[in-house]
Amino acid sequence: MAPSQQAKSSKSARGLLTGLAVAACLFASAPGVRAQAPAKQPAAPQATPKTAPQAPVQAAPQAVPGFWDPRRRPERPDLSRLTVIRFLTETDYPPFNYTGADGNPAGFNVDLARSLCEEIKVTCTVQMRRFETLVDALTSNRGDAVIASMAVSPQLRARVDFTDPYYRVPARFASRKDAVMPEIRPEYLEGKKVGVIAGSAHEAYLKAMFTDAELHAYPNDDALRAALRKGEVDFIFGDAISLAFWINGTDSGDCCAFSGGPFVESRFFGEGIGIAVRKGNDVLRQALNWALFRVWEKGRYTDLWLRYFSVSPF
C-alpha cells in the first residue's frame, strides 16, 4: 500500500476521561505520514470541508479519551522566551483541518492550536500547506510547530522532535447492526469472515492474533465497507476514527455499528499523534506539553473532542 494511502488510512464530561493509553496509526514507511483518519470521508452530519462541523446531539454521554496522567502533572516551563507560535497545518483533511466558510483555517487541530496559544498567552498564527511540504517548511524555519494529525515514527523523529501524543487511533471491528457483539476475542471469530485493507497494520494484527478467522483483503476503504454493507463479510477491522465517521455518515446507509472495544497494540499501530517542532527546540516542546495538559485538565479538550466526534472511536 502506498504511503499516501497509509496516511489517509483527530460538553463537559471530564468525569468520563479514561486515561486510555491507546496506540495510533499504521507503521510509517515514508518520512511524513499523517494519522489514519477520515480524510476524504464525510465529517459530522451536515458538515463539509467548507463548513464547521456542528456539535452533535448526544443520545447518551460519550466516553472521551484522555491521553494524560493526572498524577504526572508537568511543571510550568519558562514561557518568557515565547512571543509567537507559527503553527503549520494541512490544507484539506476534515474534520482535523480544512478551510472554513470564512476562508480561514478551521478544524480540530486548528482549534486545539488556538487553545494552546491562549493557555501559553502568546500570539498564534496558523498557516495551511500541502501535507508533504510541512516537515520541510518546519525544518527551514518557515514555521515553529506542525499540528496536522502527523503520526510519530522513527523516520520522522530523525528530522523533528515531538510533543507528547495529543490523540491516538485505536483499531476496532465493525459489523452489521443485526450482528453486533459486545466483546470480541480471537475464539469468537473462528470461521467468521473478516474484511481488512490489504497490506495494512490491521491485516498484520489479524494474521498474528486472529488466526482462526477467515480473512478477506480489500484494496481500499470503499471496497472494504461495501463488502460489509452487502453482507459479504461478517466484520471489518480498521482504524476506529475513520470507521466512526463512516458509521455515522450517509455512506454507511445506517447499516453498521462497532462490535467490541478498541484494540491498542502499539507494536502494530504506532506511537501516537504529536505536534512536531524543530530538532532541539525544547523550550517550545515543553511549553506545548504543559499547555496540552492544562487544556485537558480544564475540560477544554473534552469540549473540543465532543464538538468534532459524534460517534466515539473508543
- Per residue in 34-86, pLDDT (tens digit) is 554 443 333 333 333 333 344 333 334 455 666 788 888 888 999 998 999 99
Instruction: Calculate the alpha carbon distances from 75 to 215, 248, 263, 297 in Å.
Output: 48, 40, 32, 14
**CATH 3.40.190.10 domain range(s) in the chain:** 3-168+271-308, 171-263
Is 220:200 a contact under the CB 8 Å cutoff?
A: no
Model confidence at 164, pLDDT cuts 50, 70, 90, reads very high
CA gyration radius, the chain: 19
Is 68:296 a contact under the CB 8 Å cutoff?
A: yes
Residues in CB range of 267: below 8 A, 6 or more apart: none
Mean pLDDT of the chain, nearest integer: 82
What's the whole-number mean pLDDT along residues 142-160? 95
Query: For position 267, what pLDDT does the model report?
Result: 86
Model confidence at 29, pLDDT cuts 50, 70, 90, reads very low
CATH architecture label of 3-168+271-308: 3-Layer(aba) Sandwich (3.40)
What's the whole-number mean pLDDT along residues 161-189? 95
The pLDDT > 70 percentage for the chain reads: 79
Nearest to 93 by CA among 184, 217, 159, 9: 9
List the strands of the sheet with 160-162, edge to edge.
123-129, 84-90, 145-146, 276-278, 160-162
Say what the pTM is: 0.74
The pLDDT > 90 percentage for the chain reads: 64
CATH architecture label of 171-263: 3-Layer(aba) Sandwich (3.40)
- Rounded CA separation 175/181 (Å): 8
Peptide bond before 45: cis, by omega within 30 degrees of 0? no
DSSP 8-class letter at 255 = -
Specify the range with the lowest mean pLDDT, choosing from 12-21, 58-67, 234-243, 289-298. 12-21
Q: In 39-158, which ranges are continuous DSSP H helix?
A: 108-120, 134-139, 154-157
pLDDT tens for 239-290 read 998 999 899 889 999 999 999 999 988 888 888 899 999 999 999 999 999 9
Q: In the chain, which ranges are continuous DSSP H helix?
A: 3-8, 108-120, 134-139, 154-157, 201-209, 221-229, 240-248, 266-269, 282-297, 300-308
Is 134:97 a contact under the CB 8 Å cutoff?
A: no
> Residue 302: helix, strand or coil by DSSP?
helix
Residue 30 pLDDT > 80, yes or no? no
Cα dihedral: 284, 287, 289, 295 (round 10) = -130
Q: Which residues of 148-177 are buried (b: 16+ CB within 10 A; e: fewer)?
A: bbbbbbeebeeebbbbbbbbbbbbbbbbbe
Residue 19 pLDDT > 60, yes or no? no
Residues in CB range of 292: below 8 A, 6 or more apart: 68, 116, 163, 164, 166, 301
Specify the range with the lowest mean pLDDT, choosing from 47-51, 170-174, 184-188. 47-51
